[in-house]
Amino acid sequence: MFKKAITILMALCLLAGCAGCTSAPASSTASDAPQTDAAAQADTVTITDLYGRQVTLPREIKSIVCTGAGALRMICYAQAQDLVIGAEDSDKTQTIKRGYNYVNNAIFKELPSIGKGGGRGYTAYEEEIISLQPDVIFSAYNSEALEELASKTGIPVVAITYDTGMFDEKLFQSLELIGQLLDKQERCTQLIDALKDAQQDLSARTQDIADADKPTAYSGAVTFSGGHGFEGTYANFPPFTAIGAKNVVDETGQDGSLQIDLEKVLVWDPEVIFLDPGNMDLVNEQYDKNPTYFQSLQAVKNGEVYSMISYNNYTTNVELAVADAYYAGKVMFPEQFADIDIEKKADELFELFLGKPIYSDMQAAGLSFGKITIGE
């Protein structure tokens, strides 16, 4: 009996020893896997972009490229242009009609080309982007083109976008996301706060004026998908909306850019007219063909025709759109905007968003605020 007990005890010890030998490697393997996963997770972050897409990208971003209308502009607003390692063709040539481009073109013109640019559709040169291997692509493409870009390059693509206004929730969300990903939270918060302050200021200046006491206004020769003559206009025109102005085109019930029947403008006969100085050649051609039409408008007869510098170039130049709103307010509501020196205000906005006051450069290029005489 005693021998049997000893035998059983020895067998149990042997089993325990074998179990210990087999469990040790298993324990080691199990502990290694979480460490590997944890290391990978520490190097990446998953975010939700402006299209609601889940995107996993490096936690530390050292290089980027931008595609689509407004993407590079927002990166420049965030003061992150030093991370950009490639530029679209449309931004490699300097133009003062895009403030971010004008100020930063010395950087952009030397960068490799990563796409044609010019809209929200697919214009990327994916092979060039792949060869550059940026950590992230910030894109304002439409959702279909954006997915194509992600699929073809295998590089994380983050959607950032905004609408055509200047006080746009999508713009605020895009800046917040850029700030989070590129460690520019303080800068982006500064811009968002400044825009919200401007929105409140513009609205407050005219909120106590009855509609009956507001002049009727028309904005013509507006730039959208290229230049337009007097018929090119905008319903719910953001600079007008910001100050509660009476835009005669709002009567159409439409929204955004459109071409209006010139006879309709004659019927409306607005008290104040604003025109894009960049398209005055088109308006003057129309004047030469039919001067009687223009001379029949009360705004023309009364000398109430003013410039409205186009803010739409590869979507909205936000800083210029805000300046336009202040200028429209100064023209139509001089008492409420008496403290505004429009040239100083414009340069304040340019310096805030672009890092440089450029109003004098715009003046030299024929883009300035002031009265206009049609036909000259």
Identical fold between 46-193 and 209-364 = yes
Q: Whole-number mean pLDDT of the chain?
A: 91
Which CA distances in Å does 359 have to 102, 227, 353, 367?
12, 22, 13, 9
The dihedral sign for the CA sequence 166, 172, 174, 178? positive
Mean pLDDT of 14-27: 38
Using 50, 70 and 90 to split pLDDT, how confident is the model at 165? Answer: confident
158: closest CA among 78, 77, 73, 46? 46
166: closest CA among 221, 243, 233? 243
Spatial separation of the C-alpha atoms in residues 43 and 164, rounded to whole Å: 36
Class for domain 209-364, per CATH?
alpha beta
Mean pLDDT of 217-227: 92
104: closest CA among 75, 134, 129? 75
Condensed to tens digits (0 to 9), the pLDDT of residues 246-301 reads: 999 999 999 999 999 999 999 999 999 999 999 999 999 999 999 999 999 999 99
% the chain with pLDDT above 90: 85
Statement: residue 42 has pLDDT above 90: no
Give kind and range of the element (H or E) at residue 46: strand 44-48
Condensed to tens digits (0 to 9), the pLDDT of residues 106-122 reads: 999 999 999 999 877 89
Helix, strand or coil, per DSSP, at residue 159: strand
238: closest CA among 300, 171, 193? 171
Statement: residue 40 has pLDDT above 70: no
Mean pLDDT of 128-150: 97
Mean pLDDT of 207-231: 95
Query: How high is the pLDDT of residue 18?
Result: 38
Condensed to tens digits (0 to 9), the pLDDT of residues 177-209 reads: 999 999 999 999 999 999 999 999 999 999 999
Domain boundaries defined on the chain: 46-193, 209-364
Statement: residue 353 has pLDDT above 60: yes
Secondary structure of the chain: what % helix, strand, coil (to 5)?
A: 50, 15, 35
| 269 contacts: CB under 8 Å, gap ≥ 6 | 216, 297, 298, 299
Q: Look up the CATH number of domain 46-193.
A: 3.40.50.1980
pTM (2 d.p.):
0.88
Helices (H) and strands (E) counted in the chain, each on its own, are 15, 13
Statement: residue 101 has pLDDT above 80: yes
Can you point out the beta strands (E) in 224-320?
A: 232-235, 246-247, 256-259, 272-275, 305-307
